[in-house]
Structure 1
Amino acid sequence: MFSLLSSEFILLSASTLFVYVLYQSRAKPQKLPLPPGPSKLPFVGNAFSFPSTFEWEAFTQWGKDYNSDILHLSVFGISIVVLNSFEATRDLLEKRSTLYSSRPRFHLITEVMGFEWLIPFMPYGNAWKERRRILQRHFHSQNDALVRPVELKYTRGLLLKLLEDPSTNFRTHVRHAIGSTLMSLTYGTKTHSMSDPIVEVAEETGHHLSQNATPATVLIDKLPFLIPILSPFLSASAFKKPRAFWDKLTLTLRETPFAVVQREMADGTAEPSFVSKALEDISGTQDTAKQHQIIKDVAALVFIGSGTTNAVMQTFFLAMTLFPEAQAKAHEEFDRIIGRGRLPDFDDMPHLPYIAALIREVHRWKTPGPFGIPRILEQDDEYKGYLLPAGSFIMSNAWAIQYNEEQYPNPSTFLPDRFMKDGKLDASLPDPSVVSFGFGRRTCPGMPVANSSVWLMIASLLSVFEIIPPVDEKGVQILPKGNYVSGMTFHPAPFDCVVRPRHKEVEVLIRGTADIHA
């Protein structure tokens, strides 16, 4: 039972909430209608119907129910606008980016967990612009001469690990290859173990962010005084860990590898990396401490970004396990265009259209970011005859875009051929990977690096391996169920598959090209 004090607190919170909702509803007269959406109850709005997991699927269905690519919901007076089409998302987040580029406060992420330094959760302003600028300067497509040799090294190391140790779960080898690539690009340091502590901390941080930045938990951004009441009913790990836990993650991510690079630069042993080059770029007229802080923030973000690439690669392994006909077509394209005498490299990219189509379908079929991080509308706006109220949370539904049945018939089926036309990539269909990386001023600057890493890993794996389901003691295939984990980063639940060489020349081919230090 509640004590008298807790009962008084609940009564005070409810009263405060009632006044807040009443103010929100009467603050501005509405001359235009709101976008359509589920019926709202007095006072609570859509609080009882708001999904807590797999939100994107519910919003996609509501878009069909109300025949609209833009929806309006309300939870305790908080206005929420859901964008369910590429057109609406592009029109607002790109063409009107001055109004749609900032973020809500993210009370859980920034204040409870202490990740206010993470760029994706920063409001639009000078601090965000400074970090964005340095990201764009160092992580762009013109930097291929520095990026691609590192990607080649660790991708070929991945092939060797899968050849020598196929019994180990493929996820372990993949996460090590991705983490090592980002570690090398960001800090110039090498990871020598599949359980490197820095890589593990980055992955753990990404996992917690994915679970705590969901639309359901972000709603308390405007209602932080309800946290003591709501926290027992929410699964967000932010409520279950002490602040010291989050501070330790931050210290490990931002300070430890940065200090290593500084020490190596002083010794003259530093490898070229984002951090070393960014430190060299600091001029004598700049505030050195401030610049160091910016570099630390950007470097840690790049490293945490391994979660999205990992999700894409896990979906790739699942798709190959479940859809062998797509894998067979990829093998045929390799044998016909490259042959079996060498591994693919980046020069082969324009000549392997089916591989490109397969990668696009991986992004579309189970997009790694089905729901964009919410933005906040700076002032009242009008779109398609509807009022979009100032202060609204703007949520772009990438899942609805990727599952548009007019553009992608039978969207639940994994079908790379949907992106092919007359033996070439169909230029009339947009690249789904673009949707995965966001819109407008908030588009992820790391997209070129992520896309090139994914292409090389998938192309290399398909050139030498066959990915098949395991079998039971009777020789019957055990197909994965294909379940997924709900979160900001969307990835399959753990499943098993077998990775085996496609032909007898594979071992010589891999050992002849792999860097033993990768």
Structure 2
Amino acid sequence: MLTLTGWDWGLGNMTYGPLWRRHRRLFHQYFNQHAVTAYKQDLEEASHKLLQRLLLQPEKFVYHLRYMLGAEFLSAVYGIHDAEEIDQYLAIAEKAIQGAEEALIPGSFLVDFLPTLKYVPAWMPGALFKRKAAEWKRNAMAMRNVPWQNVSAALDSHKPCIGASMLERISHLIGSEHAGEEEVAKNVAGTTYAAGSDTTYATLHIFFLAMVLYPDVQKRAQDEIAAVVGDDRLPNFSDYDKLMYLKAIWMECIRWQPAVPLGLAHKTLADDEYNGFRIPGRAIVMHNTWAILQDPKVYSEPKTFNPERFLRDGAWNLEVMDPAVIAFGAGRRICPGRYFAELSVFINAARILHTFDIMPALDAEGKQIKVEPDMTSGFVIHPKPFQCSIKPRSKAAESLIRGGNSDN
């Protein structure tokens, strides 16, 4: 396995089969830069519910982030809004995502290097990977199939969601042709939910960590939001182009601690070469997202959370590389859900900062509990557990959270 840490990797021979192209066309159809605008109202409603949960139980902010991001994607993908159904599907998805994150780390199991081991019986000593794979498959199939049962009802009731749109697109097909296209649609929906909800949750979790560690950044963002929005409403997507510093915070979140630090594995189809190194055909190749985004030649003082690096004289600093071109993958396999993720993080971060102060928690003696920028390891990374204080900024802010004039 080869890990590439340079910006100018030359990978011209990647696996790119016809089935993947069919899936990818659907991803881009429903998540391109223009298509995601259809989800703005749902995102605003979900963000308001998150504010209300944070107000009632701020100490459970991590749980609220995961729950609301999961519910957000269930709504957009499957048209699921019922709280009881959301709880059921989130429990199913949690198991599947945990398995996927373990399985997607190349080299985790000996079979990655000795493919013939895939033929040994599952009961043999050393074949734990086969028993794990069987369980992961059951969980993944449940995540793909169970929520899909809701899509036909969403289509019949004219509830807008990606699954219903895909079903409508193939409604003219019959027999095996319809069944085959529905399988592709199921895969797209399941992948969208699994990949999008967990990575977006991780980025918002990283955002909370950054706000605790860098109060000056938080204060500047709050001042910008107040100047644009005022104090009688919540931020909405009409403010998007005016909140440049907040968008810079989003860019710095995905640079400072990219949720998927090694990206997805690729495999070369033929021999290739990179900086004088021969890459044999069929080699697993990783582009080291974390190393690229922490390169001091590209980003000065890379370990410091500094959104201002992306701004100059009130405009974007075009001399600094946009981390999104790396953080969401590279080349033909760049994440098609990146625009949806940006909208989700933007509206949640804007409304959280407008209504809450995120500060270090205090111990029994009134001293600040120290927080470190420590992250878990794995395919998707998250901040290790930390405590913080989340309090409404004012009575007016609390009124907005409880249901005042939220969007106008």
Q: TM-score, normalised by structure 2?
A: 0.91
**How far off its partner does 1:239 sit?**
5.9
3-state SS of paired residue (2:372):
coil
Alignment of 1:323-342 (within 5 A): 323-342=214-233
Contact 1:380 1:389 in 2 (8 A): yes
Query: CA RMSD, aligned part only?
Result: 2.6
The correspondence for 1:439, drawn from 330, 348, 361, is 330
- Please list the CA deviations of residues 212-233 of structure 1 after superposition, one character each: whole Å capped at 9, or x if unmatched: 22233267324134578xx999
* 1: CA distance, partners of 2:105 / 2:133: 20
**How far off its partner does 1:159 sit?**
0.9
Contact 1:215 1:374 in 2 (8 A): yes
Name the structure 1 match of 2:161.
Answer: 273
Contact 1:140 1:446 in 2 (8 A): yes
3-state SS of paired residue (1:505):
helix
The correspondence for 1:142, drawn from 28, 31, 34, is 34
Matched, 1:425 2:316: yes
What is the identity, as a one-letter code, of the residue corresponding to 2:230?
A: G
**How far off its partner does 1:164 sit?**
2.4
Matched, 1:162 2:54: yes
* 2: CA distance, partners of 1:138 / 1:343: 27
What is the identity, as a one-letter code, of the residue corresponding to 1:141?
A: Q
Name the structure 1 match of 2:178.
Answer: 288
What is the identity, as a one-letter code, of the residue corresponding to 1:304?
A: A
Larger radius of gyration: 1
Matched, 1:299 2:189: yes
User: Identity percentage over the alignment?
Assistant: 32
**How far off its partner does 1:453 sit?**
0.7
Contact 1:467 1:497 in 2 (8 A): yes
Number of matched pairs = 401
* 2: CA distance, partners of 1:219 / 1:398: 24
Matched, 1:252 2:173: no
Pair 1:242–1:284, CA change in 2 (3 A): closer
**How far off its partner does 1:145 sit?**
4.1
What is the identity, as a one-letter code, of the residue corresponding to 1:190?
A: H
**How far off its partner does 1:335 sit?**
2.2
**How far off its partner does 1:263 sit?**
4.1
**How far off its partner does 1:194 sit?**
10
Pair 1:349–1:506, CA change in 2 (3 A): same
The correspondence for 2:75, drawn from 184, 187, 192, is 184
**How far off its partner does 1:396 sit?**
0.2
* 1: CA distance, partners of 2:179 / 2:85: 34
Contact 1:354 1:425 in 2 (8 A): no
What is the identity, as a one-letter code, of the residue corresponding to 1:280?
A: E
Name the structure 1 match of 2:236.
Answer: 345
Contact 1:198 1:252 in 2 (8 A): no
3-state SS of paired residue (2:107):
helix
Pair 1:298–1:274, CA change in 2 (3 A): same
Unmatched runs of 5 consecutive residues or more in structure 1: 1-79, 103-123
Name the structure 1 match of 2:7.
Answer: 86
**How far off its partner does 1:249 sit?**
1.4
Q: TM-score, normalised by structure 1?
A: 0.72
* 2: CA distance, partners of 1:237 / 1:487: 19
Name the structure 2 match of 1:212.
Answer: 103
* 2: CA distance, partners of 1:198 / 1:478: 36
Name the structure 1 match of 2:18.
Answer: 126
Alignment of 1:386-465 (within 5 A): 386-465=277-356
**How far off its partner does 1:157 sit?**
1.1
Contact 1:372 1:395 in 2 (8 A): yes
Pair 1:166–1:385, CA change in 2 (3 A): closer
Contact 1:166 1:498 in 2 (8 A): yes
Pair 1:502–1:300, CA change in 2 (3 A): same
Name the structure 1 match of 2:264.
Answer: 373
Name the structure 2 match of 1:483.
Answer: 374
* 1: CA distance, partners of 2:258 / 2:145: 32
* 2: CA distance, partners of 1:509 / 1:232: 60
* 2: CA distance, partners of 1:301 / 1:475: 45
Pair 1:369–1:232, CA change in 2 (3 A): farther
3-state SS of paired residue (1:394):
strand
Contact 2:100 2:136 in 1 (8 A): no
* 1: CA distance, partners of 2:109 / 2:332: 21
What is the identity, as a one-letter code, of the residue corresponding to 2:207?
A: F
**How far off its partner does 1:83 sit?**
1.4
Name the structure 2 match of 1:50.
Answer: none
**How far off its partner does 1:86 sit?**
2.0
What is the identity, as a one-letter code, of the residue corresponding to 2:76?
A: L
**How far off its partner does 1:144 sit?**
3.6
